[in-house]
Amino acid sequence: MTLLSPCDYHVVREYLRAVDANVLFAYSVVNHDIEGKIFVDDCHTPTVFYIVHPYGMALLLGNTEQKEFNNVLKNYLSNHLNQRTRPEWLQVYPRTWEVTLNELLNKQLCFDNVNQHAISVLERLNFEFSSEKYYLQKETIDLEGNTLQRTDKSLYEKISGSVIPSRFWNNYSDFERFGVGFSLVDTKGTPLSTAFCSFIYDGQLELGIETDPRYLGKGYAYVVCSALIDYCLGNKLIPVWACSSLNSGSQKLAQKLGFSIIRKRPYYQLPNS
């Protein structure tokens, strides 16, 4: 596994076009929207790509039969040499990689549940948006004196949690130029919930959402997501949603917003120890 020079990331696009699942995070790395990494089997004539977004999402793509690459990959995934300092969530294409990884990792795989010390094989859901369903189901939520507003620099810097804009964009300048977000804020200007563009490519905008745990269950996530979806519809963008099958809250919210599951794919949760 050799690092590909960022000036050569364009060679990956041909391979990405064949992927039949939502991998906008990989495009964000390839298009230099964020500073990720791409490992390959050979820098001059690559046929295998391991794309890592700094948030931790990864995509293994290409030729499954490069034995030398696969041997190094096995150590990387198992983290025997401590190459990874944090978890990763790995998707693969083509699906023959599933067979290859089963052979490489064998008893290291843990199916259908999260094991912090093993590689967990879980399920990722891709959704399809229906504007008709969205408008038919659209709700009005009591904001309880809070205010909905576009996510500006001040809010960008205040938002805390796991799924936040600063973990998906290099800086606010890039977010302001290429992305967008909407936040529900209280009277003190504190963000309670934010929906934002985590990835955008080819007319598709993937939603990221973060809500202050103290305000869960109030419908605030619905409010900010609805604002972002309205922005998409007004700008001829397709809203995109994906989540783990273990995230029942995300699934329920997606369905309330007019999304339906269209695809299920396994993914590998890689521990950092």
Q: Give the count of beta carbons closer than 10 Å to the beta carbon of residue 37.
A: 14
Q: Express each pLDDT in 209-240 by its tens digit.
A: 999 999 999 999 999 999 999 999 999 999 99
Find, among 38, 90, 80, 17, the residue nearest to 59 by Cα: 90
Where residue 110 falls among pLDDT bands split at 50, 70, 90?
confident
**The pLDDT value given to residue 107:** 79
Q: Can you tell me the distance from the alpha carbon of 243 to that of 241, in angstroms, rounded to the nearest whole number?
A: 7
Where residue 106 falls among pLDDT bands split at 50, 70, 90?
confident
Q: Express each pLDDT in 120-152 by its tens digit.
A: 999 999 999 999 999 999 999 889 999 999 999
**The pLDDT value given to residue 85:** 81
**The pLDDT value given to residue 203:** 96
Query: Edge to edge, what strands does the sheet with 147-150 contain?
Result: 147-150, 181-185, 191-201, 204-211, 238-240
**The pLDDT value given to residue 81:** 75
Two tokens, residue 54:
């700094």
Give the chain's count of helices (H) and strands (E). 9, 14
Q: Can you tell me the distance from the alpha carbon of 82 to that of 59, in angstroms, rounded to the nearest whole number?
A: 19
**The pLDDT value given to residue 80:** 78
273 has a pLDDT exceeding 70: no
Q: Express each pLDDT in 34-85 by its tens digit.
A: 999 999 999 999 999 999 999 999 999 999 999 999 999 999 998 877 778 8
Q: Express each pLDDT in 152-170 by its tens digit.
A: 999 999 999 999 999 999 9
Two tokens, residue 181:
């977000």
**The pLDDT value given to residue 157:** 95
Whether the model clears a pTM of 0.85, i.e. scores above it, the answer is yes
Return the DSSP state at 47: -
Where residue 271 falls among pLDDT bands split at 50, 70, 90?
confident
Q: Express each pLDDT in 11-40 by its tens digit.
A: 999 999 999 999 999 999 999 999 999 999
Q: What is the mean pLDDT of the chain?
A: 93
Q: Can you tell me the distance from the alpha carbon of 180 to that of 12, in angstroms, rounded to the nearest whole number?
A: 26
115 has a pLDDT exceeding 80: no
Where residue 114 falls among pLDDT bands split at 50, 70, 90?
confident
111 has a pLDDT exceeding 90: no
Helix (H, G, I), strand (E, B) or coil at 150: strand
User: Side chain identity at 17, as an amino acid letter?
Assistant: R
Find, among 197, 154, 145, the residue nearest to 25 by Cα: 197
